[in-house]
Structure 1
Amino acid sequence: MTEYDADGVAAFNVQLIEDFRRNGGQVTLEPLRGQPTVLLHTVGARTGQRRVTPLAYFIDGDRIVVIASKGGAPEHPAWFHNLRAEPQATVEIGTEAVDVVAELLTEGLERQRLYDRMAELLPQFVEYQTATDRVIPVVVLARTHPAVRRDRNGRH
Structure 2
Amino acid sequence: MGWNDDVIEQFRSSKGTENHWGPKLIILHSIGAKSGRTHLNPVVGFRNENGWRVVASKGGTPENPAWYHNLLANPSFDIEALVDGDVVTVPVTATEIPADQWHEAYSAIVAEESQFGGYLEKTDRRIPVLQLTPRTD
- Equivalent residue pairs, number: 133
After TM superposition, the score normalised by the length of structure 2 is 0.90
- 1:13 aligned to which of 4, 12, 15: 4
- 2:105 aligned to which of 104, 114, 117: 114
Distance 1:111 1:51 in 2: 26
Q: If each structure's strand is expressed as a fraction of its own residues, which one has the higher value?
A: 2
Identity of aligned residues (%): 33
Which structure 1 segments of 5+ residues have no match? 1-9, 149-156
Which structure 2 segments of 5+ residues have no match? none
1:33 Cα deviation after fit? 5.0
1:139 Cα deviation after fit? 0.4
Which of structure 1's runs of 4+ aligned residues deviate more than 4 A? none
Matching residue of 2:92 = 100
Distance 1:62 1:104 in 2: 13
Q: Which amino acid aligns with 2:73?
A: A
Matching residue of 1:42 = 30
Matching residue of 1:77 = 65
Report the aligned-residue RMSD: 1.7
After TM superposition, the score normalised by the length of structure 1 is 0.79
Distance 2:65 2:21 in 1: 22
Q: Which amino acid aligns with 1:102?
A: A
